Amino acid sequence: MTTTWTMSRALNAGLDAALAADGKVLLLGEDVGPLGGVFRVTDSLAAKYGPSRVFDSPLGEAGIVGTAIGLAMRGYRPICEIQFDGFIYPAFNQITSQLAKLTARHEGKASFPVVIRVPYGGHVGAVEHHQESPEAYFAHTAGLRVVSPSTPNDAYWMIQQAVQSNDPVVFFEPKSRYWPKGEVDEESPAATLHTSRVVRGGTDLTLVGHGAMVAMMLQAAEVAATEGTSIEVVDLRSLSPIDFGPLVRSVEKTGRLVVAQEAPGFASLGSEIAATVAERAFYALHAPVLRVSSFDTPFPPAKLESLYLPDADRILEAVDRALDY
């Protein structure tokens, strides 16, 4: 059965399905209970499952994740919500020094199935600490799985797959994509959790990115098509581990690659992708791998975000440079 939902509604339905499927699944965070979260992703779940399974936490991200770790130790499968991307840093030690290390510390004899949901990214006109893209910090940390859906269908299935994982998963939700609608297949997922996918075929150049940038890349590909350029678009979906197979095969076909991301460019996921593709597909490349990113500065005031964040025009400028080689 196919349904048309926004991403926020798809996530709500996915969380509902996860809670219904396993009584050990719990949901906690700031305002996730009766209010339903600031983005209403958890709307009505507290009323349906009760305060013992969906409950508000104190305002303290380290405590939220620390509580989730303790619950996982006792056999539960907690889902934490970090209300905004910039609020995750007080929990950084719990995530990177504790949660990421615990399975290895127990030599695999214990699992810690914690999901940490993080609304992230810009394009929403918010204030400081509310429009960041911190995914590289966590993709860099061994022991964590890191994913980000770009469509309602992926959001619906990937949140359920993340909950089923026995490893901790940091689940980045592109908040600027919460409201656009898309089709959701409620019967079968399009792909497994850590699979990248070609979402638009092409022959002249490959664009790759994740989260909100996928819609931006598709927009750029549409414009390029009107000018006679055929662009293939790859949605990473998983940021750690990265499924490089579809991306490398695409580059071997097109010979050119542009990586797009909202995060600043230095020491980023885009850097890792560029290096890996250069290693694995060097002789197929007709041009250097180019990167399009935000600037290496703190996120500016909201009125300047359109100058800071990459858009279709900046992606197309990189496409033109790659094609000129």
Residue-range domains of the chain with CATH: 2-185 (3.40.50.970), 197-324 (3.40.50.920)
Please state, in angstroms and rounded to a whole number, the distance separating the CA atoms of residues 217 and 199.
Answer: 10
Q: Classify strands 231-235 and 197-200 as parallel, antiparallel or unpaired.
A: antiparallel
Mean pLDDT of 33-44: 97
Q: At 170, phi and psi to the nearest 5?
A: -95, 115
* pLDDT per position as a tens digit, 145-189: 999 999 999 999 999 999 999 999 999 999 999 999 999 999 998
Q: Which whole-number Å values give the CA distances from 159 to 7, 16, 79, 156, 241, in the listed order?
A: 11, 10, 10, 6, 16
Give the pLDDT band (50/70/90) at residue 60: very high
Closest residue by Cα to residue 312 from 209, 201, 215, 198: 215
Task: List all residues 6 or more positions away from 191 whose beta carbon is below 8 Å from its beta carbon.
Answer: 154, 197, 237
**Strand boundaries in 107-240, DSSP class E:** 115-120, 145-147, 169-174, 181-185, 197-200, 205-209, 231-235, 238-240
**Pair 133, 308: CB distance under 8 Å:** no
Please state, rounded to an integer, the average pLDDT across all residues of the chain.
97
Q: What is the pTM of this model?
A: 0.97
pLDDT of 240 strictly over 90 = yes
What per-residue confidence (pLDDT) applies to 128?
A: 85
Mean pLDDT of 237-261: 98
Annotation marks residue 130 as catalytic: yes
3-state secondary structure of 286: coil
Give the pLDDT band (50/70/90) at residue 316: very high
pLDDT of 6 strictly over 90 = yes
Which of 123, 130, 194, 210 is catalytic? The answer is: 130
Sheet of strand 197-200, all strands in order from the earlier edge strand to the far edge: 197-200, 231-235, 205-209, 257-264, 290-294
What per-residue confidence (pLDDT) applies to 191?
A: 93
pLDDT of 1 strictly over 90 = no
pLDDT of 127 strictly over 90 = no
* pLDDT per position as a tens digit, 14-26: 999 999 999 999 9
pLDDT of 123 strictly over 90 = no
- Return the structure tokens found at 152: 């309602």
